[in-house]
Structure 1
Amino acid sequence: MALNIARYKADLEKLLEDAGKLELALLVKIHGADELAKTLNNDAAESERKRIVTGLKKLPSFTVTYESWYSECLALIRQVLPDRLADFKEHFEAPKNRKDITYASYRIQDALKGLRVTRSPFDEVIVDHKAAIPHFQQQFAILKAAEKRFESSLFEIRQLVQADLFDSEIESARHLLKNKFLRAAGAVAGVVLEKHLLQVCNDHKVKVAKKNPGINDLNQLLKDAGVIDVPQWRHITLLGDIRNICDHNKQKEPTEQQVTDLIDGTDKVLKTIA
């Protein structure tokens, strides 16, 4: 349990630190380093202001680094604060039913594309990447809420305990694979995958009617409930097929590559689907 808690905390602290830098990088993109330095400390001496400007110019490019930060945030929020995941995504993704691009409908995704709307005849700016600032600030706030979740007595540590147990079982499967016990390694990984998918169903209040559901049953339920997307569903279907070869198909031996794919794929599902 302590291992996963420490890991999540370290990941979260790094993401929060990077968020602070990204927010400044976005402001530099909008106002320029010199103007932003004046705003941050207008009373600073010239030498101090130059130092601030130099520091601002060394910040990572918002356009270049935001995508990887966003992806890492999604993975962490799925684990720690799943009820805010949709909110976090909404500040990035352009609304699907959007007809006009306005300040209200502009999103961070638009800013990354450099989208800018003007009105003739004088090219008056209607909306540009300035409109992305409040969306990024809201994502920052959601990330901070995830941090507070660690400190709250309401924080459920059951998932973290289970994650450590699953990590241990995955390592056992890798050890069996290394020693060429292919069916046994695949069977262990298959059990971990099945248990995890059942837990995800429970966490998302997905009703499981079948008494002893298998990987494919749970996979389909999660897809139908919108918890996972089609690529994830296809990936898990493939893993389920390999698991069936290991457990049930005595006419065909699993290959080392298939079992490796099953173990690695299960490990990926544990870390990305919650």
Structure 2
Amino acid sequence: MATNNDKYKNDFQKLIELGGSLFNAMQYEVFPEEFKKQAKNALKTNEKVETFIKKLPDFGPGYQKWYSESVKLIKQLLPDRLADFVRHYEKPKTRKELTYGNYVLEDYLQGMTVTHGYEKIKIVGPDAAITQFRQQINILQSLEARFESTLFDIKQLVQADLFDTELQSAKELLKHKICSCGWSTGRGSAGKALGPDSRCP
């Protein structure tokens, strides 16, 4: 029977695979010709390159799904890195101008580009988000070491979930005054008939 541990690992592997596909999709969106060239070097034929590109996910909705699920997993298993992960997506509240260093995934999804002068020389654009996304993937990948090095902590997490469930069940038993055998000891007629010295049947 699959455990919560197995579920976490399975979710992790799916997110890693989707993250890799999204990273390729992002590079294709930003540098299409360069991406095709690199793909051609690896895949050898134009037919294989075109097939590969057609299978790339749509970055926008794909990333939103990946981000939401990654946040949940990191919050559960690596909470001390959650703020770092989110920082690469959300626009800084104190940001006064958009630069290469503070361009984030939220800017990328909105197609933000900063230009200068009459010739509209690009100062910063979507390519700046590639580094930010790479860092998010690296943070997610760091979970793999946690599965191996702190498996005991994860087991404790699962045990805590089970304990909470058992505690809630115990509270319900006390609330309704149900004996562990299932016999009611409440104030109903059965309780009166049995009396204080009665035992479970």
Interval containing the TM-score (normalised by the shorter chain): 0.7 to 0.9
1:36 is aligned to: 35
1:24 is aligned to: 24
- The counterpart of 1:141, out of the listed 138, 142, 165, is 138
Q: Is the 8 A contact 2:43 2:49 kept in 1?
A: no
Matched residues in 1 for 2:109 and 2:167: separation?
A: 41
- After superposition, the C-alpha distances for 1:182-223 in whole angstroms (9 at most, x for unaligned) are x949x7xxxxxxxxxxxxxxxxxxxxxxxxxxxxxxxxxxxx
Q: Is the 8 A contact 2:114 2:125 kept in 1?
A: yes
Matched residues in 2 for 1:124 and 1:95: separation?
A: 24
The one-letter code of the counterpart of 1:12 is F
C-alpha change, 1:36 and 1:156, in structure 2 (3 Å) is same
- After superposition, the C-alpha distances for 1:100-140 in whole angstroms (9 at most, x for unaligned) are 10001110000001111111211111111100001100100
1:53 is aligned to: 50
C-alpha change, 1:43 and 1:70, in structure 2 (3 Å) is closer
1:12 is aligned to: 12
The one-letter code of the counterpart of 1:162 is A
Matched residues in 1 for 2:7 and 2:51: separation?
A: 33
SS at match of 2:84: helix
- Detail structure 1 runs of 4+ shifted over 2 Å in the superposition: 40-45, 163-170
C-alpha change, 1:43 and 1:55, in structure 2 (3 Å) is closer
The one-letter code of the counterpart of 1:163 is D
Q: Is the 8 A contact 1:27 1:36 kept in 2?
A: yes
Matched residues in 2 for 1:168 and 1:10: separation?
A: 26
Q: Is the 8 A contact 1:4 1:163 kept in 2?
A: no
After TM superposition, list the pairs within 5 Å mapping 1:112-131 onto structure 2: 112-131=109-128
Cα deviation, residue 65, structure 1: 1.3
SS at match of 1:125: strand
1:66 is aligned to: 63
Identity fraction in percent: 41
Please give the root-mean-square deviation of Cα atoms over the aligned residues, in Å: 2.7
2:159 is aligned to: 161
Cα deviation, residue 39, structure 1: 1.5
Q: Which has the larger radius of gyration?
A: 2
Q: Is the 8 A contact 2:85 2:139 kept in 1?
A: yes
C-alpha change, 1:115 and 1:156, in structure 2 (3 Å) is same
Cα deviation, residue 40, structure 1: 3.3
SS at match of 2:3: helix
Unaligned 5+ residue runs, structure 2? 176-201
2:95 is aligned to: 98
Matched residues in 1 for 2:64 and 2:52: separation?
A: 22
Matched residues in 2 for 1:169 and 1:50: separation?
A: 60
